[in-house]
Amino acid sequence: MNRVEIESFIKSFILFFVSLEVLIGVIFYKEYQQDKAKFEEKIFNEMKLCSFDLKCSDYTVDFQKKGTKQLYTLYTENNSLYSYYLIPNTYKYHLKISYPSSKYEEKVKLLKSHRKKELLLITLVVLLLTILFSLYSMYPLRKAFNLTQEFIKDILHDFNTPISSIILNIKMLTKTKENHSKVNRIEQSLNTILSLQENLKSYLAHNPQEDERFDIHQLVTQRVEPLENIYPNIKFSIKGKVLWLNNNKSAISRILDNLLSNAAKYNKEDGSVTVEIREKSISISDTGRGIKNVNKVFDRFYKEHDRGLGIGLHIVKKLCDELRFKIEVTSEVGVGSCFLIVFK
């Protein structure tokens, strides 16, 4: 099972199992109380019989002065049961019949033990049923997920032909002074497409790319270079020194590409984008339009402008979560935004 299926299974299991266990626990507690009440009623009936013939070896018989206690009523005190009865031809004393606390506690423990064994057996059955139910409830999700995977794999396969054709044609182009920069931009864009394709293939195969050691400053410089050609009116500046990371370079490249392209795309005319590299973090700030609803900025398909699909920042948040990075955003409408990524 993949991560999504495991998460779905765990949530379904917890919800179903906990709900049933709470319900079963309440039922068993009420049944235990009923068992206890029946036992006490049995004791009370035996006390009544004992009050006539006093032949009751399991009970203690005593005579006490008349008090405020009501006759023929069962009382419980310190796990001891007792009741008062009228003695013929006398009104000063009452007959007190008691059931020893040790025997009462022993009987109550037996009742508890019996119910606990039943509860344990039912819990095992519920556990098995919950696992089967959770697996069964995942079937539609797994089926839809497999169909989506097959569809994406077919698209990736169909991409190979046009991408290969573009690569061959680019290699045939002559890099003159006039078209050198244009050809380079086409190559860089094509490399980005190929990188996204490889990331998607790796994701579908559930084989996360291995970590590698690289300089984040150098990587930022590489990702900024094509954007400077696409947005010549935007001033890009990189602050900070060399910072070596041992992590998924491809995933971090995708994070940077999304944040940098958004910072340039939604910037003001003749605006600026500043990347500041610190010891354990990196921030990307711009002088753009700003974000109204900062709390929704990472939601899938959420967007405040006509451009874009509203999934770029959702991908950024997802990648940061997978890499265990902390990402924060501050923004002011009409002033700009700042995205801060704290490395683990």
Are 217 and 188 within one domain?
A: no
Final residue before a domain boundary, out of 207, 241, 264: 207
- State the DSSP code for 71: B
pTM of the complete model:
0.49
282 in Cβ contact with 275 (< 8 Å): yes
Q: Is 212 helix (H, G, I), strand (E, B) or coil?
A: strand
pLDDT of residue 275: 93
Domain end marker among 207, 225, 257: 207
Regarding whether 158 and 217 lie in a shared domain, the answer is: no
Tell me: do 188 and 200 sit in the same domain.
yes
Q: How far apart are CA 42 and CA 238, in angstroms?
A: 86
Give the domain range for residue 159: 140-207
Number of domains in the chain: 3
Q: Are residues 214 and 307 in the same domain?
A: yes
Within this chain, do residues 294 and 171 fall inside the same structural domain, yes or no?
Answer: no
Based on the domain organization, do 227 and 171 belong to the same domain?
Answer: no
* 119 and 62 share one domain: yes
**Same-domain status, 250 and 281:** yes
Q: Are residues 119 and 145 in the same domain?
A: no
Domain check: are 214 and 344 in the same one? yes
- Each residue's pLDDT, cut to its tens digit, for the chain (344 residues) gives 666 678 788 888 888 899 999 999 999 999 999 999 999 899 999 888 888 878 888 888 888 888 888 888 998 887 788 999 888 877 788 889 899 888 888 888 999 999 899 999 999 999 999 988 888 877 777 777 777 777 777 776 667 777 777 777 777 776 555 666 677 667 767 766 766 666 566 555 554 556 889 999 999 998 888 888 778 888 999 998 888 988 888 888 888 988 998 888 888 888 999 999 998 899 999 998 888 888 888 887 777 766 555 677 888 888 888 888 999 999 988 889 999 999 87
Going by C-alpha positions, the residue among 238, 197, 234 that lies closest to residue 216 is 238
Give CA–CA dist 68/104, Å, rounded.
25
Give kind and range of the element (H or E) at residue 23: helix 3-53
Task: Give the model's pLDDT for residue 110.
Answer: 92
Domain end, chosen from 151, 185, 207, is at 207
**CATH number assigned to the domain comprising residue 331:** 3.30.565.10
| 168 and 234 part of one domain | no
